[in-house]
Amino acid sequence: MKSLLIMFFSFILILLLSFETEGQSRSPVFERRTTVQPPSQSRPPGGTRRPLTPSRRLLAMRQMGWEIGGNIGTSHSLTDVSGSSVDQRPSFLNTQWNTTSLNIGAFGRYRFHEYFAGRASLNYGRVHGADSLAEGRSRNFYFDNNIIELAAIFEVYVPVGSPNFPFDFYGFFGLAGFYHNPNLTVPDPPPSDFNPEEMVYSNFQPAIPMGVGFNYQLTRDLKIGYEVGWRKTFFDYLDGFTRPWSRGSDSYYFATVKVTYQLPQSRRMWY
């Protein structure tokens, strides 16, 4: 009887040991295998899609954040004196191209979204015009004016679809204030309808800038672009002169080449 009990407990112990060994062999810890395969020479890491070349990578990278830049270009005015026709009209076709002058400026931009940015700019532009350059005028007035403008601009960018496309197209609008001091040259004798005492205006005026432009990504940190921006004003004395039958307010516009530098910061991909 004693020998039977010993045999029975020995058999139970052997079964328990066999179950424990089998369970350990099926445990996830024992099933983990680390296999290291050498990289394939025909397929680059990450699958069949090949990585960007360095030149394409510079164009594909976009940087949201702060940018600074400068611009230089031309200044034009649309007034009672500087228009090219008898009636002053706010049209680019009414520009006196012979009176084209210089515009220079600086700006700071914060691009907070792929499609939106805010910009603050400081511009200087000289505008002038002459009745002698317009058809059908005999007054012989001439004026010149220096404009110093501070503007806050909101930019809206056009989706281009591909991160490798190096151009950015945008439209903009905003608010601006400018200082001006027109110098009007009046012939002697002056016209009978000219009364200088009625020419009362402020040297500080508001304006609404609006226009279009584009940028080209030269390198990761440098862009060059072109922009045309018209300024709608709310007065008729940009040339220091007005008429009772004047059609609308005076205005001016800048056509500029812009160079933009993207300040160093952590970069984020837009895609």
Query: How many Cβ atoms from other residues are within 10 Å of residue 259's Cβ?
Result: 15
C-alpha to C-alpha distance for 125 and 147, rounded to whole angstroms: 5
Q: Which of 41-45, 102-106, 163-167, 240-244 is predicted with the least confidence, judged by mean pLDDT? A: 41-45
Residue 123 counted as domain residue: yes
Tokens of 113: 């979204």
Residue in 203, 258, 207 with CA at minimum distance from that of residue 230:
207
Residue 158 counted as domain residue: yes
Reply yes or no on whether the pLDDT at 67 is more than 80. yes
Residue 13 carries which side chain, given as an amino acid letter? L
Mean pLDDT score, 76-101: 79
pLDDT digits (tens, 9 = 90+) for 159-171: 877 767 889 999 9
Residue 184 counted as domain residue: yes
Mean pLDDT score, 129-149: 89
Reply yes or no on whether the pLDDT at 52 is more than 80. no
Residue 50 counted as domain residue: no
SS3 assignment for the chain: CHHHHHHHHHHHHHHHHHHHHHHHHHCHHHHCCCCCCCCCCCCCCCCCCCCCCHHHHHHHCCCCEEEEEEEEEEEEEECCCCCCCCCCCCCHHHCCHHHCEEEEEEEEEEECCCCEEEEEEEEEEEEEEEHHHCCCCCCCCEEEEEEEEEEEEEEEECCCCCCCCCEEEEEEEEEEEEEECCEEECCCCCCCCCCHHHCCCCCEEEEEEEEEEEEEECCCCEEEEEEEEEEEECCCCCCCCCCCCCCCCCEEEEEEEEEEEECCCCCCCCC
User: Which range of residues forms the domain containing residue 144?
Assistant: 63-262
Reply yes or no on whether the pLDDT at 268 is more than 50. no
Reply yes or no on whether the pLDDT at 32 is more than 90. no
Tokens of 99: 């009176």
Sign of CA dihedral 94, 99, 102, 105: negative
pLDDT-based confidence at residue 83 (cuts at 50, 70, 90): confident
Residue 53 counted as domain residue: no
Residue 21 counted as domain residue: no
pLDDT-based confidence at residue 122 (cuts at 50, 70, 90): very high
Would you state the pLDDT for residue 210?
97
C-alpha to C-alpha distance for 52 and 43, rounded to whole angstroms: 14
Q: What CATH number does the domain containing 175 carry?
A: 2.40.160.20
Q: What rounded mean pLDDT belongs to the chain?
A: 80
Pairwise pLDDT comparison (129 vs 45), residue with the higher score: 129
Residue 162 counted as domain residue: yes
Residue 17 counted as domain residue: no
C-alpha to C-alpha distance for 61 and 167, rounded to whole angstroms: 12
The total domain count for the chain is 1
